[in-house]
Amino acid sequence: MRELDIVRRIRKLAESGGRHASLVRGIGDDCAILRPRANEDLAFTTDFVLEGRHFTLDRHTAGEIGHMALARSLSDLAAMGSEPVFCLVSVAVPAALSGKWLNGFYKGLLQLAREYNIALAGGDLSRFDKVIADVMCCGRVPRGKAILRSAARAGDAIYVTGALGRSKRPVPRVKEGIALRRAGVKAAIDISDGLVIDLYRLCVESGVSAELSEVPVAKGASLEDALYRGEDYELLFTAPARSRLGFARIGTVMAGEPGEIRMQGKLLEVKGWDHFDESAR
Amino acid sequence: MRELDIVRRIRKLAESGGRHASLVRGIGDDCAILRPRANEDLAFTTDFVLEGRHFTLDRHTAGEIGHMALARSLSDLAAMGSEPVFCLVSVAVPAALSGKWLNGFYKGLLQLAREYNIALAGGDLSRFDKVIADVMCCGRVPRGKAILRSAARAGDAIYVTGALGRSKRPVPRVKEGIALRRAGVKAAIDISDGLVIDLYRLCVESGVSAELSEVPVAKGASLEDALYRGEDYELLFTAPARSRLGFARIGTVMAGEPGEIRMQGKLLEVKGWDHFDESAR
């Protein structure tokens, strides 16, 4: 199948999914064109999903891989408290994979896209010897209201939006992120690489340390899983200790050495899904 | 080397390159944050560069690959007449490649970024068994002024910004694109896959056909190269025939069957750098 024909088909699929009013041009030009609204900031993030690293073709369907590719980026939008607007999808597949596979990939991705009202506005399509995808998502927040990693303050309580350690087809916490932003939450991060490493990142950006009291462990998972397994996509956020936000409190932000994380007084090792750890071994 | 350390180093490199005033947050959070100016549209594009397809590690230095990765996306911004604002860079490399290689990649990319005043605002970093990169670029244009593929009109003259067929380290025509937009040019595309296929795309989007008269052939290239070799990154644009824009006229937009391209009366076959052609063979 020719690229031009595939693009035509994707475009039809994408347009059937509706289009954000602020998207002036979608698929079919050198660039997508967005017309920003007054008084909004725009949030941008991009994430790879790679064959053999995030999925395998025998264990994941095309639709699951499309879903996963978009879910990872949506989770970053959620962490800023932003509302999804559009995505660009770059995907490369081996010649041996049929057009049907690519169709399945886009169908899985667009099903999730419709759920979150995010438009597919363009991307890139290529041949490669493995399946790789990179999804860029754009979201909007009222001006100056994005939730940041750098806004945690000593004395804040630390919360998570759900139990950790046993992710299965994780749900990006977009609605929760928007609700937290509206409730005045200033600092958050999504748990993509593991609670401890992502809390570490938030603490470093905020110049604070943290003390964990207890962590909600998902059914069938261990405390170790909850602390160090990634791909949960729950949000970790901080707020003044008396906030009644309806989520599980797991600890307290402290004024200590930036990035130090303790659990019941004991210093935790910062490890997790760090893609570059291999080279240090 | 750990991802956290690499990100810290990239961030330092990126910040030394300066930052667009409208970029509220760059590297170091879940998303980059842009504060749009009043009365502007934003253009977005993304492009892969893949080992074995666009480059090889023995024939290209890390810096050349970083340059190429950004140049491809910048060329799409140029085609819309937009001014570069920021980019997100996703890159994956094998464990066997040193931190020095990755440093070289970012240095090559950032050298070009500084030339075009585009900020590196974030991205993704992963391990993979081959080197792959995906660069998303965002540019700005005054509201409603983006140059489109769909705005060519029968009777317009067709121009290119330079000789074709022998690209070497191509220069994205960003300044030319902005100048053309200011001069009132409405329709353009960048020649990334080959003159004929990219002219075909522009014609299909505009619902027109085209007649080529003569094509400026680069020194050492053949007419066949000029018509069908990609990676030139010159801009192809259309404008009323009497426009004095200082570029080579190569033909005329016609009212015929959308997408048909003739040269001196003879119908040309639409072929070029179509990544999906293999599967049709």
CATH of the domain at A63: 3.30.1330.10
Q: Which of B39, B43, B95 is nearest to A30 (CA)?
A: B43
Q: pTM here?
A: 0.93
Shared domain check, A127 and A105? yes
A3-16 and A99-115 helices, crossing angle to 10°:
20
Shared domain check, A123 and A77? yes
Shared domain check, A135 and A12? yes
Does the residue A112 lie in any domain?
Answer: yes
Shared domain check, A201 and A186? yes
Cβ contact (<8 Å) for B276 and A77? no
Closest CA–CA distance from residue A47 to any residue of chain B (Å):
6
Burial class of residue B15 (count of CB atoms within 10 Å of its CB; 0-12, 13-18, 19+)? middle
CATH number, domain with residue B158: 3.90.650.10
- b/e B199-216 (16+ beta carbons within 10 angstroms → b): bbbbbbbbebbbbbeebb
**Tokens encoding B187:** 């329709």
Shared domain check, B136 and B255? no
Tell me which residue has tokens 């804040």: A156
Q: Please tell me if residue B84 touches chain A, with a CB cutoff of 8 Å.
A: no
Task: Reply yes or no on whether the pLDDT at A277 is more than 50.
Answer: no
A62-79 and A174-182 helices, crossing angle to 10°:
10
In the predicted model, what is the mean pLDDT of chain A?
91
Q: What is the maximum alpha-carbon separation in chain B?
A: 61
User: Number of CB pairs < 8 Å for A and B?
Assistant: 229
Cα-based angle B45, B9, A41 (whole degrees, multiple of 5)? 40
Tell me which residue has tokens 């998502």: A137
Does the residue A278 lie in any domain?
Answer: no
**Tokens encoding A70:** 């978009």
Which among B87, B121, B142 is the end of a domain? B142
pLDDT at position B195? 95
Distance of CA A75 to the CA centre of its chain: 2
Does the residue B279 lie in any domain?
Answer: no
Average pLDDT over residues A77-81: 97
Tell me which residue has tokens 């994430």: A47
Cβ contact (<8 Å) for B45 and A30? yes
Residue to substitute from A11, A24, A29, A30, interface B, most B β-carbons within 10 A: A30
Share of chain A above pLDDT 70, in %: 94
Does the residue A279 lie in any domain?
Answer: no
Shared domain check, A203 and A244? yes
Q: Which of A156, A248, A247 is nearest to A202 (CA)?
A: A156
Task: Reply yes or no on whether the pLDDT at A281 is more than 60.
Answer: no
Does the residue B275 lie in any domain?
Answer: no
Burial class of residue A19 (count of CB atoms within 10 Å of its CB; 0-12, 13-18, 19+)? middle
What number is the ipTM of this complex?
Answer: 0.92
Cβ contact (<8 Å) for A274 and B4? yes
Which helix (H) or strand (E) covers residue A72, if one does?
helix A62-79
Does the residue A275 lie in any domain?
Answer: no
The Cα–Cα gap between A137 and B265 comes to: 45
pLDDT at position A276? 57
The Cα–Cα gap between A149 and A189 comes to: 6
Answer for the pair B89, B7: CB distance below 8 angstroms, yes or no.
no
The Cα–Cα gap between B121 and B15 comes to: 9
Burial class of residue A73 (count of CB atoms within 10 Å of its CB; 0-12, 13-18, 19+)? buried
With H, G, I as helix, E, B as strand and everything else as coil, classify residue B157: strand
Shared domain check, A138 and A8? yes
Residue that wins the pLDDT comparison between A279 and A265: A265
Residue to substitute from A1, A7, A29, A178, interface B, most B β-carbons within 10 A: A29
pLDDT at position B16? 74
For B191, nearest residue in chain A (alpha carbons)? A30
Does the residue A277 lie in any domain?
Answer: no
The Cα–Cα gap between B88 and B233 comes to: 21
Domain count, chain B: 2
Q: Please tell me if residue A139 touches chain B, with a CB cutoff of 8 Å.
A: yes
Shared domain check, A66 and A90? yes
Average pLDDT over residues A264-271: 90
Does the residue A276 lie in any domain?
Answer: no
Shared domain check, B156 and B137? no
Strand B23-25, strand B32-34: pairing = antiparallel
Cβ contact (<8 Å) for A32 and B45? yes
Instruction: Write the pLDDT tens digit of every residue in A82-127.
Output: 999 999 999 999 989 978 899 999 999 999 999 999 999 999 999 9
Which among A142, A175, A208 is the end of a domain? A142
Residue that wins the pLDDT comparison between A17 and A191: A191
DSSP E strands: which ranges in chain B?
23-25, 32-34, 40-50, 83-93, 119-127, 132-142, 157-160, 187-190, 209-212, 235-239, 248-254, 261-263, 266-267
Shared domain check, B237 and B115? no
Task: Reply yes or no on whether the pLDDT at A48 is more than 90.
Answer: yes
Which among A92, A121, A142 is the end of a domain? A142
Share of chain A above pLDDT 90, in %: 75
Q: Give the range of the structural domain holding residue B66, as residue numbers without chain letter.
A: 3-142
Q: Please tell me if residue A277 touches chain B, with a CB cutoff of 8 Å.
A: yes
Shared domain check, A58 and A8? yes
Shared domain check, A104 and A174? no
Give me the average pLDDT of each 10-residue run along chain B (281 residues): 74 76 86 95 96 95 96 96 97 90 95 95 93 97 96 97 84 96 96 93 96 94 91 92 88 96 94 50 28
